[in-house]
Every structure is written in C-alpha cells, then in structure tokens.
Structure 1
Amino acid sequence: MIYQPTLLPLMENSEQIYTEIIYDKRFTKMNDITRDEEHIHDFFEIYLNLGGDVSFLVEDHVYPIHRGDIIVTAPNEIHRCLYHSDCLHEHFCIWIRSLPFATDPLRAQFAKNKLLVLPDEEKERIIEACFAFYKSQSEESPRPFATVKSFFEILDILCADRYDTIEAQSLPSDFSEIIEYISEHYTEPTCNVSHICNTFYLSKSTICRRFRQYFQTTPSDYIEAKRFSEAKNLLGAGQSVQSACLNSGFSDCSYFIMRFRKRFGITPYQYQKDFL
C-alpha cells in the first residue's frame, strides 16, 4: 500500500514551507504485498537509509545504498525501494514542497544527482539532525525553534556539496534497451506489454521476469506509472483532463480518471484545481 504523506507547515501560522518526516524500522520480506509499489509525489522526497539490504529505483535507474546514503527524488519522479532479501529496514523519509526562495536549492542541486554519499562525519551529523527533526515534530508540546533548526541543518548538509555522487547500477544491455524503448514510446497508446514482446521478440513471461528481477514490478505497472507522472506534469502545466490523458499515453478518458482516482485519491480535475 502506498503511503500518502500529509505535509504540514514547518511552523504554526506559517504557509511558506510544508514538510513531513517519518521514521520507520521494521522487518520486511521480499514477497510482502503491503510494500510500496513504484510511486510519485507532488513534492521532493529525501530518503535516508539507516540499514537494510536494499537499493533504490528512480525513474530508469537503480542505485546501491548503504547506511547514511541519501536518495533525493524530485516532484513526479517515479521511485521505490527495492528489497534484495528478508531484512530489517530502517530509514527516514522527509517530504518537502518547493522552497520559497528565488532559486529553489533542492531543484537546482538535485536535478541530476539522485544518490548522495556523504563523508562519515557528515553521515552521522545528518542522521542526528533527522532524529532531532523527527522528535521535535512528534512531541505533544511544540518546539518551533528546535524544529526549524534541525530542518535547516538537514538542508545545509544536503546543499553544501560535501558528498560524492555515485552512478546507478549497470543493467543488462538487453533490459536497458527495453527501458529506453519504453521511455521513448510510453506516451503512445500502443506501447503495452504485447507490443514490447513483438518489438524485442521476447515472450511475455520473459519480459515480466526481467522486470521482477531488476525493478520488482510488472511492465504494465511501470508503463502506467510513467504515464501518470507525465499526466500530472501536464495537468500542472494547465492542460485539460482530456488532453493530459491522451498526451500521456492513455486512450480512454474514463479509464484514466478511474485509475487516477484509485492511485491518488482524487480526480485529475481536483488535482489540477488544487495544484493551480
């Protein structure tokens, strides 16, 4: 089941910065059907790994991660955590709407860099800052200055260029060709599993097995996620619901509205109204 964050103002009576933080530590099985599938948000997500045999999928790339490593995803980027064994998975997630500055530091800094590997001392510093931010948000008695201090300490660490950027894991060339083909053609209604099978002369079972192996999803779900990502961008740019539907690869507007509502809890029209 996909967790839907509810972002709140950083401080009471403040409508400038909306954010939410969660801390999660639990034993997770690879075949657990309650795990999040690939998903998208309307805001930035900062994932901080504290433990677990996992990697992270962002759009078409898989990144290896270890304790203290950080994944930053931008609004409407497809992402999910990939589990490689039954393991204790511990992490923080912070969601942030675009910051009210002339230049959004998150968008500028992380347009291309998704995986951040900090020096050991900075890893411990940001972990401590996340625990402080989480604690200040969780307490019954508000501590606004402690909240703001820890929040901006996290941003300072992220935007200080004191990290290494790590390339995504290499995928087999034949699977990379399939992913590249989908990225180029997913806005075409004919881009479906059968079409991909015919294009690459592979059986449906082989295609599905490859997606399960490398992305832990189905090709149909992956294509649909990319279409929803594009549809939300188009709706945010002011296109009508019908235009966003057709231009993102859906051929049936009623089906698009039904699936959109099931996935995001609101209709495309309501989403656009709230966004604009």
Structure 2
Amino acid sequence: MTLNHELRYGSVQHPFHLEYNRRKGHFSMATDHMHRHYELYYLFGGERYFFIKDRIYPVRSGDMVFVPSNEVHKTLDTGVPNHERIVLYFNMEYFDQMVDNEAELLLTPFHHGNRVIHLAEPEKLRIEHLLYDMLREIQDQSPGYEQPLTLGSLSERFYLSPSHLSRTFKKNTGFGLIEYIGITRTKEAQRLLRETDERITVISERSGFENFSHFEKVFKSFTRMSPRSYRSGFHQKET
C-alpha cells in the first residue's frame, strides 16, 4: 500500500503527536522555531541540513535527529531535491506516565551532545519497518486503531444509546463493558509479559492502555500485583 504524501496524528495539545511528509522538489523552513515538545526526526530518503541551537548538521537517509525541548531549530535545503521524513513529538506529560528509570533512558539521547545519529543498515531496516507500520495504521484508520474505547464512542458506532448498549452487553457476557475491556487488555498484557522481553511501557501500549499509570492501576485491580512483579514471579517459577 502506498502512503499518502502527508500524514498527521494527534495535535500539539497531546503528549504525543507526529507528522509525515514526502516532499517533491526543494524545501526550506522559512524561520527558526522552538517548542516545548522533544522532537525526534527521522529521514527516510533525501538530504537535509538541520540547524539546531548554534550549529548546522548535514542529515542523510538513515539519520535520526534529537531536538531537546525549547531549543531553536529548522531544516534547510541542501540543493538536492525531494525528501521523505517523519517527526515525532513528545512532551513531558508523555514521559511522566513512565517509571523514572525508563523515562530517564528515553530522554538520554536528547541531552547527549551528539544531535544526529546515523543508523547502521540492520537498525535502519528495523526502525523503518516499525515507522511504516505505524504510518499505515494511521492512514488505514481501521476500527480500534486509536486505543481509547468508551461506552459513548461504541454506542455511536453501533447506533445504540449508551444505557441500552451497556445493558445488552452485560446481559450477554455477564460483564460490564469497561470491566470486560480491562480484563481483555490485562490478559493480553500478561501474555506479553510472559512471552516477550519488551519493556513494560511498550507492553502497556500494545495492550491498548492509554497511559502507563492507568495500565498499572487496571493490571493491579485484576491480578493483585504490579506488571513488574507479575513478570518477575513468572520467570522465577520457570527456574
């Protein structure tokens, strides 16, 4: 499937948002700018100059650029036409959802002296596979591609009143709708905690939870333990 020339997800008001562009010809940003979001820029193809703070960096295909919060920056044309890029924006509310050591780990590249990292071919292929999968999901907008599921949104989708949907769901399943969603997502999180070595914050997202604190709260309510304790206990049983 071919991606649109431009895709966007979220907005500046959200803890996370992104924008993707595949531009033809020559392009330079008109002015320097800064914002409170941390910015992660990846260049799929083409060449760019990236001005950050007081220095210009040459950027080529496979380069990842880290721009800290509130640091002046802009991108410039190199004379080579056409480029394809994605920019992911994270504000501090995004990192506040995580446990301290994970947030610190993810923020480290933004505070490192080297603003541009060139990925080796294996890492480049893996990162691009993940990014393109995400962009295809945003473009397709299949049912459920946005994680929040609420009684109101589901009742609109099925053209039923919230009260009627709630009663019908409980009559046929024995569970309240929100309770059922929590159980289903917790079971998926348990499977991922047992079968993968992925970070718990990633598992939280993959299981459909809106943020890490909500994930921990729901997980504990059904399992009587934290996700970290569940994983540790399962691994101890194996040994």
**Larger-Rg structure:** 2
Q: TM-score, normalised by structure 1?
A: 0.43
Q: TM-score, normalised by structure 2?
A: 0.49
